[in-house]
Structure 1
Amino acid sequence: MPLSSPAPRQLRHQRAIRAVAYEREDGLWDIDACLTDHKPRDVPLAAGVRPNGLPIHELWLRITIDRKLNVVDAEASSDWVPYDGQCQNAHPAYRALIGLNLLKNFRREAGQLLAGTVGCTHLTEMLGVLPTVAIQAFVGAVWDVSSGTPGEESGQEPSKTADGEAAGEKPPFQLGRCHALRFDGEAVKQFYPRWYGHVPRSIERGASASSVRDDPGLSQEGRAGVLAHE
C-alpha cells in the first residue's frame, strides 16, 4: 500500500543507505554498506561550493563476518565528504568492530566504541542496519529458519537445549519478533498454526518469577527456594 498523496512540496535533501551481502569463496561473508547525501542545488560548504549533482557524502563501510555472525574484518572509506582530508581520519576507528557479534548487543557495543569524536557520525549510523541485513542474507542460505535456533546451519541435525528439547521443537526464529508475526496474530494463525497462541518460555519464566516475588504468602526462604529452581 503506497503512502497517502503528499501536500505540495519541493525536494530539499535525499539520503540513501544501501547494504549488499556477498558470500565469499573462502566461506566468509562481506556486507558492504553505502550512505549518500544529495541536495538538488549548489551547496556552499566550508571548503567551497559543492555543485548540484555531486554528493555531500558518499561513505562506505564493509564488515566481514563468519557463519556465526562474528565480525572478523572491518574497513571504512569515503569518496565524498564535506572536509576532505579530515573526515577520512576516522576510518581506522572502525577496525574496533572486529571481534563483535552481530547478534550479541552489536548496536550498543559498536555505538560505545565509536561514540562522539572517535568515529564519523554518518558511518556509525550505517552500523544499525548491519545485523538485519546479515540475518536476511543468511536465511535459507546458512540458516534453516524452520528451527528456532539462529546460527544453526541448514542441513544440521537439531541440537538439544539444556532440558533435552530438540531445537527443531522451538518456534521458527522469526516468530514473536515483530507485530505481524506475534504468536496471537492472524499471520501465525494462518501460516504457522502449530505455534498460534504459543507463550515463549522466557515469558513463562518471567511471569512465574514475578508471581513468586509478589506472593505475600511466601516467606523469604520459600521465595528464594522457588526462584532457585527456575
Structure 2
Amino acid sequence: MPLSPPTIRRALKHTRTINIQAFARDDGLWDLDAQITDSKTNDIALASGLRPVGSAIHDLTLRITIDTIFNIVDAEAVSDAVPYPGFCNTIGPDYKKLIGLNLMQQFRQGLSARMSGVNGCTHLTELAQILPTAAIQAFAGDVINTRDGANDIPDSPQPFQLDRCHALRLDGPAVVQFYPRWAI
C-alpha cells in the first residue's frame, strides 16, 4: 500500500538516494557497495561555490568486504562529490578502521567509537549504520538458511531471522504459519 496522497501542494527540493549492492566474491568473501547521493532541484550556493541544479552535493561510496560470519576484512570509501572539495574527500582511508568489526556484534557502537564526529564523514558513517541489515538480506537463502522446510535436519538450529522483528516473534502468528516448529 502506498503512502496517502498529500493533501497540501508541495514542491520537491531535495533528493537523497541510498543504494546498496551485495556481491558474492570468488574467494568466498562478500562485498557490500553502499552509495549515498544528495541533489537539489535548484541551484544552490554553498560556501565552496555554486552547485547547479541536479548536480550532486554528495556522491559517496563505501565498500566493506565481509566473511560469512559478518567480520569486516576490508573497507574502502571514496567521495566523488562533496560540498568542500579537498577537505571532505580526504577521510576515505580512515574507513579502514572498520576492519575487525563484526556487523552482528555491537557494530554500531564500534562504528561510533571509531568514526563519529570529526573522526569520520557524517554521511559515510550514517551509511555504514544500515549495512548490518543489508548483509542479512544479502546472505538470506545463500549463507543463512531462511526456511524451516521438511528437508531440514531435525536438530538444525532455529532460522536466523526468527525473534528479530515484530512479525517474526516466536509467539506470533507468522511463526505459527511459516515456522511452526519454532512457535511458542
Query: Structure 2 length normalisation: TM-score?
Result: 0.92
1:182 counterpart residue number: 169
Q: Could you tell me how far apart the structure 1 residues matched to 2:111 and 2:160 are?
A: 24
1:21 aligns with 2:52: no
State, as a whole percentage, how many aligned pairs show the same letter: 56
The unaligned stretches of length 5 or more in structure 2 are none
Q: Could you tell me how far apart the structure 2 residues matched to 1:191 and 1:116 are?
A: 43
1:75 counterpart residue number: 76
Q: State whether residues 146 and 171 of structure 1, in contact with CA within 8 Å, keep that contact through their aligned partners in structure 2.
A: no
1:106 aligns with 2:107: yes
1:5 aligns with 2:21: no
Q: Could you tell me how far apart the structure 2 residues matched to 1:31 and 1:174 are?
A: 20
Q: State whether residues 59 and 80 of structure 1, in contact with CA within 8 Å, keep that contact through their aligned partners in structure 2.
A: yes
Q: Could you tell me how far apart the structure 1 residues matched to 2:41 and 2:82 are?
A: 17
Q: Could you tell me how far apart the structure 2 residues matched to 1:175 and 1:28 are?
A: 25
Of Structure 1 and Structure 2, which has the larger fraction of its residues in strand? 2
State the one-letter code of the partner of 1:2. P
Q: Could you tell me how far apart the structure 2 residues matched to 1:25 and 1:182 are?
A: 35
Higher relative contact order (CA closer than 8 Å, sequence separation 6+): 2
Of Structure 1 and Structure 2, which has the larger fraction of its residues in helix? 1
Q: Secondary structure at the match of 1:117?
A: helix
Q: Secondary structure at the match of 1:132?
A: helix
Shift of 1:59: 0.3
Q: State whether residues 80 and 89 of structure 2, in contact with CA within 8 Å, keep that contact through their aligned partners in structure 1.
A: no
Give matches, 1:27-176, under 5 Å: 27-146=28-147, 166=155, 168=156, 170-176=157-163
CA-to-aligned-CA distance 1:138-159 (integer Å, 9 cap, x gap) = 1111222347xxxxxxxxx89x
Shift of 1:194: 2.5
Q: State whether residues 20 and 31 of structure 1, in contact with CA within 8 Å, keep that contact through their aligned partners in structure 2.
A: yes
The unaligned stretches of length 5 or more in structure 1 are 148-156, 159-165, 199-230
Aligned alpha-carbon RMSD (Å):
1.9
Q: Could you tell me how far apart the structure 1 residues matched to 2:19 and 2:46 are?
A: 25
How many residues end up aligned between the 2 structures?
181
